[in-house]
Amino acid sequence: MLNYFSSNFSLGILGGGQLGKMMLYETRKYDIKTRVLDPNPEAPCKIACDHFTTGDLMDYDTVVNFGRKVDVLTFEIEGVNVAALKQLEQEGIKTWPSADTLEKIQNKGIQKNFYKEHQIPTADFQVFKTKNDLLEALKTEKINLPFVWKSTTGGYDGKGVSVIKSQKDLQELSDGECLVEDLIPFKNELAVIVARSVSGEVKTYPVVEMEFHPTANQVEYVICPARIEDKVAKKARELAVKVSQAFEHVGLLAVEMFQTEEDEILVNEVAPRPHNSGHYSIEASYTNQFEQQIRAILDLPLGNTESKVGGIMVNLVGDAEHEGEVIYKNIEQIMKMPGVTPHIYGKKITRPFRKMGHVTIVNEDLAEARRIAEEVKNSIKVISKE
């Protein structure tokens, strides 16, 4: 085994956002040297890594030159130059998840076809090269309203995804390659994070549940464990493992799923990295997702994925009415509540719906955590000065 701890070993991270920042808490804990590449010179990872480089993650030369300076390379965002990763792998630099795996996930069309080929249950879909092709298919009734539209590339945080119910909705869609999926009437939206190490050790985290706002179509709470039957949870964890194995994925894979009215589990999509649905783990789990990611990609033994206590996560997004230098209004009020931990990502400017942080609520009693989570949600506001 390589000596990672207080040694000259160096881990490279492509992307310097909040996921990278939270991963750096763990590399600091283990005293593992890090280099981070991000286009934003003020990225949340700017401090706490050993070397920060400003540069374009999609630029071949930038990524190759960065990667040559590290021993193992990973990413905290899917939008990185895959050809560069392939070149680095050929040069003997370990890249986890691999370029090959990322390539299958990066494009949602390829991702969906992969599920089909591997008998992984997923909503029926069709891929269209252009918006015109999609409109043509509608006209000839090869597809019908309503459906879910997804851009095959570049989607993030709800961008690049729309539910299309009317001709009017169609007008808003941008051009470019896209995916049309059946709209699944689901009971629950679930997620399972799978950790798979270089040598193939596999562990799953408990199933989490996204609780939606009763009227606005927006996730309000990520709840661990999901309030579902054990047999459904078991099925979801098994399916998540199957997906991870099929991709020969190394590292964390967040598998988002639908539980249908008939208790079928369908894979919605995956993220090959630590994920918003695993943030609760920092406070609730024996091994949080960021530490687990480090363990998996460095081929260290995986840690215990079970929870010490129930956990709920609430995203802190910028208020719709505010843009400017951020203020976390009433943060001291939520800090009074038991088991409440705010995480502030370090973005100076708030914008409507920008992800600025999250809050974790832990409690032995999940129902009590849920009650406190609602209080948190009703108290804190991400606004701007004046």
Task: Please work out the total of residues on this chain that contact a second copy, with binding judged by CB under 8 A.
Answer: 44
Instruction: Tell me the closest approach of the beta carbon of residue 74 to a second copy, in angstroms.
Output: 19
Single residue of 9, 50, 71, 187 touching a second copy by CB under 8 A: 50
The reply on whether position 344 binds a second copy by CB under 8 A is: yes
Site string for a second copy, 257-296 (x = CB under 8 A): -----------------------------xx---x---x-
Site string for a second copy, 295-314 (x = CB under 8 A): x----xx-xx---xx-----
- Residue type present at position 312: I
What is the rounded CA–CA span in Å between residue 239 and residue 237? 5
The reply on whether position 13 binds a second copy by CB under 8 A is: no
Single residue of 39, 155, 324, 346 touching a second copy by CB under 8 A: 346
Q: What contacts 314, CB < 8 A, 6 or more positions away? A: 220, 221, 358, 359, 361, 373, 376, 377
- Sign of the Cα torsion 115, 119, 121, 124 reads positive
Strand-pair partners of 161: 150
Instruction: Tell me the closest approach of the beta carbon of residue 302 to a second copy, in angstroms.
Output: 9
* 324-329 vs 340-344, strand pairing mode: unpaired
What is the rounded CA–CA span in Å between residue 41 and residue 52? 9
Single residue of 11, 36, 49, 64 touching a second copy by CB under 8 A: 49
What is the rounded CA–CA span in Å between residue 49 and residue 373? 32
Single residue of 14, 21, 196, 197 touching a second copy by CB under 8 A: 21
Binding site annotation covers 378?
no
The reply on whether position 200 binds a second copy by CB under 8 A is: no
Q: Which alpha helices (H) appear in the chain, and where do they start and end? A: 18-29, 60-67, 82-90, 99-106, 108-117, 131-139, 167-172, 230-246, 281-284, 289-297, 331-334, 366-379
What is the per-residue DSSP string for 190-223?
Answer: EEEEEEE-TT--EEEPPPEEEEEPSSSS-EEEEE
Single residue of 138, 183, 202, 327 touching a second copy by CB under 8 A: 327
Strand-pair partners of 11: 34, 72
Instruction: Tell me the closest approach of the beta carbon of residue 284 to a second copy, in angstroms.
Output: 8
Binding residues for a second copy, rule: CB under 8 A, are 1, 3, 5-6, 21, 24-25, 28-31, 47-50, 286-287, 291, 295, 300-301, 303-304, 308-309, 326-328, 331-332, 335-336, 338-339, 341-348, 362, 364
Numbered residues of the known binding site for ATP: 108, 150, 181-184, 189, 268-269
